[in-house]
A = this chain, B = another copy of it.
Amino acid sequence: MTIKTILGSSDFAEFLRGKRGTFLLALSNTKTANIEGITQAGIPGMLHLTPTLDAEFVCTGEVRSLGTIAETPKGVPTPALITRAVHLLNPFGDIELLNLGLEVTPNVSYFTCHNFGITPSGSIEEGANINAQELFEKGVRFGQNYAPSGDYVILGESVPSGTTTATATALALGYDAMDKFSSSFRNAPKNIKSDVLQKALNLLETGDNLFEKVGKVGDNMLIFNAGFIMGSQSRDTKIILAGGTQMASVLLMVNSIAKHTAQSIDSTKISLCTTKWVFEDPNSDIKGLLEMLDFPISAYYADFDFSLTSHPALKLYDEGEAKEGVGAGGALMYASLNGVTKEEITRKVESFLQ
């Protein structure tokens, strides 16, 4: 398993080889996920539990707030399995949770769960109803003050229907990004999604400022993390955005805010790492999204797939039914940077499904 460069050079990744990463998992619920057919990241009727269960599983190997591991309707297991497998084979120095508006708090002790008094956001069909300026500032303050115990941060997320809100956010900010966003489906439900996006964008009014726009069509994860990254600029912390198009949308928001406020971004402190499934997805364009940024960015994907397994549920990843989430891409990069093999990860993930 190697690390492939999407943009920039291999140096950011290589510099982190052998160093210890702190895994931060950003968790949020948006009522957008309740729209029939919008996402397959989770159990029907229990979608709101997905980030909670993902967090429990990554931290403890147990799904506590529900009996079984979150599966999509087609039986694709959550990418939390990949992240957990990496953590067992080459542990993160620390796992910490960011509660960015959860319906149900993860049932774990000892692990730091950062709380900011954030509530789940509304459906973007009717307006997410986020005080984006305030939320962004919470992110900034967190970034300014956060000192990870490890040498760098791997920032993952679990937000059901998060690609829809990420798309809406990029569009609301004026990026020509309609066909560049990923989905948890292979055959992304373009009709349902386009309808939702159209309704969301119709909520925007002339004169809305940047924060008013994303407060209507975004989600808490996107806005908080844009603040987190900008706040971290005052520190030496290196951050890997462990995700696909949602994390690209975070960067697009950073880009817009920086332009708006005439700040320059030192992007030598940040990079993005996603999965091969996102990179090769014909229905989205992670590279194209990142090329819209006004600052250069190092971006990678981990050259991992499930070609070494015959487990039907895992094979669905290689068929494009699931692609990324719960920091899977960044976790795979962490594994690769520490000598863990594709074979070892495959066997460990299989062991969870027995």
Interface residues of A (CB under 8 A from B): 9-12, 14-15, 17-20, 59-62, 87-94, 108-111, 268, 337-339
Residue contact A92 to B18, C-beta cutoff 8 Å: yes
Whether the pair A93, B15 counts as a contact (CB closer than 8 A) is no
Chain B residue at smallest Cβ distance from A59: B14
A11→B109 contact, CB < 8 A: yes
- Using CB atoms, name the residue of chain B closest to A18: B91
A interface: dominant SS: loop
Select from chain B the residue with minimum beta-carbon distance to A64: B9
Cα separation A12 to B110 with both chains bound (whole Å): 7
> By the criterion CB–CB under 8 Å, are B15 and A337 in contact?
no
Judge whether A91 and B339 touch: CB under 8 Å: yes
Q: Which residues of B contact A19 (CB under 8 A)?
A: 91, 93-94
Taking the nearest CB of chain B, how far is it from the CB of A61, in angstroms? 7
Query: Closest chain B residue to A93 by CB distance?
Result: B18
- Cβ 8 A contact of A10, one of B9, B11, B62, B90: B62
Chain B residues near A110 (CB, 8 Å)? 11-12, 14-15, 268
Contact assessment for A60 and B109 in the assembled complex, using a CB-CB cutoff below 8 Å = no
Report how many copies the assembly holds: 2
Q: Once the chains are docked, how many angstroms separate the CA of A60 from the CA of B338? A: 14
User: Which residues of B are found within 8 Å of A62, using beta-carbon distances?
Assistant: 10
Q: Which residues of B contact A93 (CB under 8 A)?
A: 18-19
Which B-chain residue is minimally distant from A21 (CB atoms)?
B18
Q: Contact check, A11 vs B60: say whether CB atoms are below 8 A apart.
A: yes
Contacts of A12 in B (CB 8 A): 109-110
Question: A9: which B residues are within 8 A, CB to CB?
Answer: 60, 109
Q: Contact between A337 and B10 (Cβ–Cβ < 8 Å)? A: no
Closest 5 A/B residue pairs (Cβ): A18-B91, A15-B110, A11-B109, A17-B91, A14-B60
Query: Once the chains are docked, how many angstroms separate the CA of A170 from the CA of B54?
Result: 43
Give the residue of B11, B20, B88, B90 whose beta carbon is less than 8 angstroms from that of A111.
B11
Is there contact, CB below 8 Å, between A61 and B18? no
7 further interface pairs, Cβ-Cβ under 8 Å (given A18-B91, A18-B93, A19-B93): A9-B60, A10-B61, A12-B109, A17-B88, A19-B91, A91-B337, A109-B268
The answer on a CB contact under 8 Å between B60 and A111 is no
- Residue contact A10 to B339, C-beta cutoff 8 Å: no
Q: Which residues of B contact A90 (CB under 8 A)?
A: 18, 339
Task: Given A61-B10, A110-B11, answer yes or no on A94-B18 (Cβ-Cβ < 8 Å).
Answer: yes
